[in-house]
Chains A and B, each alone.
Chain A
Amino acid sequence: MAESNVKQNEEVVEESSTIKGTIFSVAVVGGVILVTYLLIYGLYMTRI
């Protein structure tokens, strides 16, 4: 029982200190920049 409590506490600490959601969200920002860049670059290459 005690062991299980320890595990739960560890999970809470791990869950509150993680930055995986932040990294994922910033990656989405990077992805939008990349896709926009590629879209306009594609149009540029098509039109020259």
Chain B
Amino acid sequence: MEALKSYDWKDKANKALGISQEDARITKSYLSVAFIAILFGGLLGLLQGMNRAGILELPVWANYYKVLTAHGLLLVVVLSAFFTIGYFYAGLSHTLGGLLPKVRKMAWIGFWMKIFGFVLAVIPVLQGDASVMYTFYPPMAAAPMFYIGLVFIVLGVWMLAFGAFINVANWRKNHKGQHIPIFSFFATGVFVLLFFGSLPVAIEVFYIIPWAFGWIETINVMVSRTLFWAFGHTLVNIWYLTAISAWYVFIPKIIGGKRWSDLLTRVVVIALVIMNITGGFHHQIVDPGISESVKYMHVFMSLAIGFPSLMTAYAMFAVFEKTARKKGGKGLVGWYKKMPWGDVRFLAPFIAMAAFIPAGAGGIVQSTNQLNQVVHNSMWVVGHFHLTLGMTVVMTFFGVSYWLVPYVSGRVLTPKINKLGIIQTIVWTVGMVLMSGAMHWVGLLGSPRRTSYSTYFDNATALSWDPYLFFLAIGGTLLMIGVLLQVYAVFYMMFFAPKGETEFPMAEEEEDATPTPMWTERWGLWIVLMLTLVSMAYVIPLVDFIVNAPPGSPPFKTW
């Protein structure tokens, strides 16, 4: 009872006084690393874009594949993970009455493990000993230090996941019979996926390390690819779940509305957690040695993610329409005029949502076995990836940064920075539409991904890609300008903006909302269901790959 009182007091104090300095420091550190990563990762992306357009020949010491590996690591591994963790830890602190002292310690240990791991991984990349790209598919082999670095990154992620679980479990113990606050519900889902999703890649890395050292001669390529995509596919949806957490929880408040349905929101989180890991084979859909029935299951599970996505689309449009009509919006689409287009905290995530319409459509199409053959390993896939991660997810992160950074820094979003944010959003949108559009189109024309610029001995088809690749370079240049504007805005808001109080803009439920049933809180059951599906999807093919293993492969250095 004493503990409960003390916890309620902390909860109230946290809401009244804002985030504690200790908790704020954690989020600021994670966000700083994330935005430094986008600065360097963006620059490397520009170099690649210029190279692919045939405008810039990269020097030998910074060849295309080295730059591509570093670009992928910085943006896929560092930016997304550090932003996600900083963002959710701020939310855990806000909604659960502050982080527990031991959880803070775990957050810092996790932070330094991830930084240490990243430094270990990046050294061989810079030395040219690990140009294996962020998917590090065997039989391409990097220097062992690269994989040891990855081990520390995964251990850091686990530390943070368990920190979040401890904080949530403690809150549940002190608030029996209550729902986990919605934002922490999202955080729980994300950290469950981060932990269980990173288990396969941890096994893969522990399998690769002795091979990279030469202690074992060969590796089973299919097993390692399968373990990677069990993680990779989950990671994609972790980004998505993080982005929609902002759409469901914060956007309604920013536009002056209420959350649409708490039950639907929680069902979407649960569905994404349960169905997520089992879609890995749609990334290996033309790989040999996987039975059609297993591929069918994975494609089915990948497409099943479309259902919570469409539920999200409905929920978002419903919130927008209801709020806009309350403000006097009229007509079939005329009510859109009542949305706060001049507020970057809305504009950036809204464009992110809009981008998810073609991005999701592309994803659905390329998951289909036959249709995948039209786009497989082509630049289409790179365009898809930039539309989903670079636009849907990252623009949501940008939008969030305009209130999260001032919130944790005890400062305010000024009208000047809001205007800068609007300009940044437009620049980023135009840049990404040009770049991603060009990538999609040349992909359909046959341009391969993961290759530096080549005319293939002046082959007519390859030469026909050039005019479109020029748009890729223009888009990449605009994106670099967007990166500079965004990084400036973030660090200005963190260190130089006027001091003041910024709200953590959590939307409330509607007054007449139906109470959410308590079964949504049965996390043990959701995890058991998730593991059951994972077993159904992976046990048979993995046993098949191991029992009927083809000859293993020695390591290759292809660069």
Contact = CB atoms under 8 A, between A and B. Distances in A.
Interface of A: 15-16, 18-22, 24-26, 28-29, 32-33, 35-37, 40-41, 43-44, 47
Interface secondary structure of B, over-half rule: helix
A21 to B, nearest CB: 4
Given A18-B325, A37-B364, A40-B371, A24 B313 contact: no
Contact of B310 (A15, A21, A29, A47): A29
Interface stretch (B13-21, B200-208, B232-240, B327-335): B327-335
A33 B318 CA distance: 20
Interface string B317-343: 110111011100011110110000000
Given A26-B313, A29-B310, A43 B364 contact: no
Contacts of B326: 16
A9 to B, nearest CB: 14
B361 interface: yes
Contacts of A16: 322, 325-326
Contacts of A26: 310, 313-314, 317
B375 interface: yes
Given A21-B331, A26-B314, A40-B375, 12 more contacts: A19-B318, A21-B336, A22-B318, A22-B320, A22-B321, A24-B332, A24-B333, A25-B317, A26-B313, A28-B357, A29-B360, A44-B373
B335 A21 contact: yes
Contacts of A41: 371
A44 B331 CA distance: 40
B216 interface: no
10 closest A-B pairs by beta carbon, nearest first, are: A36-B361, A25-B317, A22-B317, A21-B321, A33-B361, A16-B325, A40-B371, A22-B318, A40-B365, A32-B361
Contact of B313 (A19, A29, A40, A47): A29
B148 interface: no
A22 to B, nearest CB: 4
B108 to A, nearest CB: 42
Contact of A15 (B318, B325, B444): B325
B314 A43 contact: no
Contacts of A37: 361, 364-365, 371
Contacts of A20: 332
Contacts of B366: 40
9 contacts: A16-B326, A21-B331, A21-B333, A21-B335, A25-B313, A29-B310, A29-B313, A40-B366, A47-B374
A18 B317 CA distance: 12
Contacts of B374: 40, 43-44, 47
Interface residues of B, number: 31
Contacts of B336: 21
Contacts of B335: 21
B332 A21 contact: yes
B444 A43 contact: yes
B358 interface: yes
B357 A32 contact: yes
A46 B359 CA distance: 24
A33 B321 CA distance: 22
A19 to B, nearest CB: 7
Contacts of A35: 361
Give the interface centre of A21, A24, A41, A43 by most chain B CB atoms within 10 Å: A21
B312 to A, nearest CB: 10
Contacts of B371: 37, 40-41, 44
B425 to A, nearest CB: 20
B202 to A, nearest CB: 35
Contacts of A36: 358, 361-362, 364-365
A48 B409 CA distance: 58
Nearest to A24: B332
Nearest to A47: B374
Contacts of B373: 44
Nearest to A25: B317
A35 B360 CA distance: 12
B370 interface: yes
Contacts of B318: 19, 22
A18 B314 CA distance: 14
Interface in B290-333: 310, 313-314, 317-318, 320-322, 324-326, 330-333
B328 to A, nearest CB: 9
A32 B325 contact: no
